Amino acid sequence: MISIEGLKKVFSLNNKDVVAVDNLNLHVEDGDIYGVVGYSGAGKSTFVRLINRLEEPSEGTVKIGDKVITSLSKSDLRIARQDIGMVFQHFNLLWSRTVAENIAFPLEISGVEKQEREKRVLELIELVGLAGREDAYPAQLSGGQKQRVGIARALANSPRVLLCDEATSALDPETTNQILRLLQDINEKLGLTIILITHEMHVIRKICNRVAVMEHGKVVEEGNVIDVFTKPQQQVTQNFVEQLTGSNEEEEDVTELKEKFQEGILLRIQFLGESANQTIISQLVKQFDIHVNILQGKITQTQGGSYGTLIVQLLGPQQDEAMQYLKEQDVIEVEVIQHA
């Protein structure tokens, strides 16, 4: 487990103290893919660099397994960092070295013998899907290939933890999805704990199990991804979710729907978890003397399951009974938009 308590970082800028990370507390379970999301300036990149002490904390503790990282001497820290891989936004590759030589670099520093080093490099090249490109230089690679090299290099010393600082923000959407699938595959194959720093809620939705939302150096909201997506508590979280789900556009559509469909009952039905895949509407029609007109709908997949929203119109003699039936289901939330 990664346990972070009271973590704080204060920078001095023009003789003024600037608090980049402020009393941050976080716990990440072994083998988890944990997302940290926030806008630019939220402190998330500083936070991830505090974990392996690329930045020295002003206060607080970071504990990984049984090692208190913040208490280690410089020599012990160098050893401990072999258990903490890091992937950077802009790759940070050595441009005069080939793919294989870049991946081998941390092994050279660790004093791994040449034969073992070459064997490990070939394993990692295969793992990240770069077979046949081992002799290429970074300038000959696409952005996605460069990041694969960065990931392989970060895995060279078989770390227990992988820190990803905006690892996909320099990539196009298709390549981003490929890198996310690679990280997910690595997590499953190696049991690696991954902390993923991003400003993109799409990235969180794709592969993370839990998420922390940062604002002004603090964690303002934290929980399972599906819970945070469906019930955001803070305004910054709501903003992130709206960017992904188009909630603002949905509200505009609802106003138009209320004007257009003035008969019966208009409902917004929110499906949580696996219930998004169930045939609840079909069951409703079978049990009650009603017609159901589906006006709008969207289902989204997350690592924690599916969630979605339907806006429906209920018409018929048993529309009130049907509405009550929906409200009694503990797997969904129902909001009455309009009752004629």
The sign of the torsion formed by the CA atoms of 262, 265, 268, 274 equals negative
Q: How far are the Cα atoms of 87, 120, 127, 247, 298 from residue 153, in angstroms, in the given order?
A: 8, 10, 11, 40, 39
Return the domain boundaries, the chain: 2-243, 257-339
Q: Yes or no: is domain 257-339 CATH 1.10.357.10?
A: no
Residues comprising the chain, all counted: 340
Q: Yes or no: is domain 2-243 CATH 3.40.50.300?
A: yes
Structure confidence by residue, pLDDT tens digits, 249-286: 555 567 777 777 888 888 888 776 555 555 677 878 88
Q: What is the mean pLDDT of residues 63-72?
A: 94
pLDDT at 245: 61
Cα–Cα distance measured from residue 137 to residue 133, given in angstroms and rounded to the nearest whole number? 9
Confidence of residue 237 (pLDDT cuts 50, 70, 90): very high
Selection from 43, 153, 18, 38 nearest residue 4 by Cα: 43
pTM metric for this prediction: 0.80
Structure confidence by residue, pLDDT tens digits, 148-188: 999 999 999 999 999 999 999 888 889 999 999 999 999 99
Structure confidence by residue, pLDDT tens digits, 294-325: 887 777 767 766 677 788 888 989 988 888 88
Q: What is the mean pLDDT of the chain?
A: 88
